[in-house]
Structures are given as C-alpha cells and as structure tokens.
Amino acid sequence: MPYRNIVTWTTLISSHLKYGSVPKAFEMFNYMRAFDESPNEYTFSVLLRACSNREFWNAGLQIHGLVVRCGLERDKFSGSSLVYMYFKGGNNIRDAWRVFDELLERDVVAWNVMISGFALVGDFCMVQRLFSEMSEVQGLKPDNSTFVSLLKCCSLLQELKQIHGLLYKFGAEVDVVVESAMVDLYAKCGDVSSCRMIFDSMEEKDNFVWSSMISGYTMNNRGEEAVHFFKDMCRQRVKLDQHVLSSTLKACVEIEDLNTGVQVHGLMIKNGHRNDCFVASVLLTLYASFGELRDVEKLFRGIGNKDIVAWNSMILAQARPGRGSGRSMELLQELRRTTILKIEGATLVAVLKSCENESDLPAGRQLHSLIVKSSVYHHTLVGNALVHMYSECRQINDAFKVFVDIVYKDDSSWSSIIGTYKQNGMESKALALCKEMLAEGINFTSYSLPLCISACSQLSAICEGKQLHVVKLHSNLKGTISFKVLQPVKTTSVNGILYINGVQHKLAVAQASASGSI
C-alpha cells in the first residue's frame, strides 16, 4: 500500500484481533510506531480490549502508559476500554473506577462497561446504583447491553419482572440476546408461562433460546412438553446442538421415554455429536434406567476425552439394585489408574451407592479409607453416603461414628441416621435422635417425619405420636403412615420446640424405652 495512515493501520490491527491473532496485532502496532504514525483513541481502544485476556495483562499496562503519554486517558473511547480491561482482565475495581471517574465524557458505552464490570464481580448493589445514576441523573437511555448486564444480576422472579418492566418503560428495541436471556431466566425462576410468552413473541430465534425452552420445561418437571417442543424444533429444521440434545435427553429420563431417547441418539450421530461427552453422559443415564447395560458400556467406551461427569454417570449406571459393588469398584480403579482426573465427592458417592449389603462391606471400608485420605472427607454429601452405606451393611455403630464426624449436618444427615436406627429395630434411639434434630433447629422432612411416627407406633408412644400427627395435619403430607410419596414439611424448631404455622408445639421426647414411656 503506497499510502498508509492511522485509519488503515487501525483497520489492519483490528482485523488481526478479530481472527484471534493478538501477537500479530501487536507486531503491526509496533510497525506503525516505527513508521512514526501516532496511535489514536480508536487504535488504543481495540488493543486494550484485547489485553483483557490475562495472558496479555502486562502488555495492557504498557498500553495504558502510552495512552497517558498521548493524553487520551480521559477520552471516552480509550477510557472505556481501559475500564473494560481492568474489570475483565484483573477484577481491579479501584483502577477501573479511577479511570471512569476521570473521563471527560461518559456515554452509554462507558456506563455499560462499568455496569457489566460490577455485574461480573457480583456487586449487584453497585449495578443498581450505577443504572439509576445513568438513567435518572444523567438522563441516558439504556440499551440492550445495559439490560443484559442487569439480567446477569437476577436471581429472583420479582427482580426479573422488574427488569422486564424497565424494558417497556424505556421503550428498548429488544434484540435476540436480551430475549434469549429472559427466556432462560424465566425458566430458571420456574415461570414457564412467561418463558413461553416471550418465546412466541420473538421474531428471530437462535439455538440458545430453543435450548432454554426445552431445559426450562425439563427443570420444571414438564418433560412431556419438553419432548413435544423438541419434536417441533426438528420439524422446523432448526440445527441441533449439544445443549438441545442434552436437555431433551434429561426430559426423556424424567418421563421414562426410551423411544424418544433412541431417536435423539440417532440425531446425535447425524449431527456429529456421537462421541460428545456432554450429551453422552445423559444418554448413559437414560439407557441405564432401562437396564440397557450393554448399550451403556458401548456408549461409554466410544466417548472421546471423558470428563469426570461421564465417569460418574457410568459408575452410577452400574450401581443398580442387586448388582453389588464389584463393577463400580472396577470402574473407580480404572479411573484412578488410566486418567489424571480429580476424583470428586460425587464420584465416591456414586460408588458408595453400589454397596447394598454385608457382602459389599469390604468395598465400603476401602472407600471410607480413600475418603479419609482425600479432600472431600468433611463434605456433607459424602458423609451422608457413608452413613447410608454402613446402614445397608448393618454396621450401626460405624454409621453413627460417621454421622458424628459430619461437620455440617443437614436434614438428609439426620434422616439417614434416624432411618438407620429405625430400620434396625432401635426405635427408642431413633426417637431420641428426632428430639436432638429438632433441638438443632433442623426441620422435619417427608422422610424423617414418617420414620419418627412409625417409631412412636412401635414403642406405643401415643402422646408423642399424636403430636407428630399434628405436624402431618398442618402440612401438605398425603397418605398413611407408609408415606411413600410426600411433599416437604414446612415446620421450624427452636430448642426442641416445634412451630407449625406460628403455633408452638412442644415435643416432649426424652430418653425413650421399649415400654413406650418417653
């Protein structure tokens, strides 16, 4: 090119950055300076955004020095990019705020960078403050980027509806990114009807929004609708990605639809996801639930670059009732021997699930030893699984020792140990633990309450049984004392005193005896 100016140099640098060649972009920047061409605010802006990658953090600091020497630190273009770099690259709030505070002009882009930066670090109060100042004090109209940052801060349905209302208030022309984010969040908040309303109003629908709808139905226990939605998606010839396939398979697991699962498996192969670890892990669970263990094994062996989730799914697939711990233990040993993957608590819980009787006790003790040496020893989920394992193997004292060692005992911890004593004919101890649980402020669950009522029945503890019956009547529990399927009990307790809908009920459980006196 016979004549080069700052525009052509900046365009060339931007092109290299667009295609991911950051070192080449810096090389062109150095050539430009060697030709005595001074960079402008646009040149600095594109380079600084590239330096938000931690790999180029030191280069970004050097570019900041050049920005200051050129007198462009307070320019809205280069200044906004500096704010972006400090937030995205180093979570450096102090320097980001200082640069923003010194800008001569703050346009919507500069405010958006600040709002997205604080959303990135999780300071949602500052996000709200900045949004209010931008829109009410500065009189700037928020755009789609602003609303995307606000949506990142949503965790409650009420907050989401407020932001949805702001979209109408400011008359924003919502794009597919904002609409997709709203569909996803409404689904996660459990409002599937609003989710569907936004979806139906969208003129342009990308893969993400289709996936959000399917996963929204699935996570809200509406698997059949998710499957129907998936079939509609296929009829419209929308390209299927691994997220759509995975969400649909989860729905198939929920509604026990093997036929649709087999069809999805065919579409996995057709769309090039045959060995995709993300999708295959869910398909493993589906086939295992129907006892198709030969297909499970074949599918697992075909997965390339298996992650820990795939291994966990395979181990759980083998931990079926009546199969014992042998195959699960073999898989655990293979995992440790052939990979460098870090074994998680979920992995050990999956193997412990396969220990279902006294013949599996040696394997259970081996797992316990491995857990003690690992970093997951104090995890509540792992402790609960150990209690359950020892209970199944009829080692009551060992189960209680593990229970005592659990640092943070949740309702499952208490339910498990109460169930251990109840199922092994030690009702008095189960009822004593029930009182201890209430004294710790742990609420009854749909598992622990019927256990305690049944213990009262076995001990002929009529008075205490009646008090527990009151709990059942004041809750949404259905059915008889077997309580096969129950809703969560809504109670609170303080120091052994039970409160049901604000009414005090003192549960007089002391040392229980086989005669029934408590």
Section 431-448 average pLDDT: 83
DSSP string over 442-472 = PPP-TTHHHHHHHHHHHHT-HHHHHHHHHHH
| pTM of the predicted structure, to 2 decimals | 0.71
Helical spans, DSSP H, in 202-353: 207-219, 223-235, 242-255, 258-270, 277-289, 293-302, 308-318, 326-338, 345-352
Beta-ladder partners of 504: 499
398-430 pLDDT, tens digit each: 999 999 999 999 989 998 999 898 888 888 888
Contact call for residues 343 and 335 (beta carbons, < 8 A): yes
Q: What is the pLDDT of residues 145-191, one digit of tens each?
A: 888 888 888 878 888 888 888 888 887 667 788 888 888 899 888 89
Cα–Cα distance measured from residue 161 to residue 174, given in angstroms and rounded to the nearest whole number: 15
For residue 450, give the nearest of 426, 483, 411, 498 by alpha carbon: 483
pLDDT of 479: 42
* Average pLDDT, rounded, for the chain: 84
Q: How many CB atoms lie within 10 A of CB 237?
A: 7
Give me the residue label for tokens 């090119």: 1
| Local confidence band at 385 (pLDDT 50, 70, 90 cut-offs) | very high
The domain ranges of the chain are 206-297, 437-518
Mean pLDDT of 385-403: 93
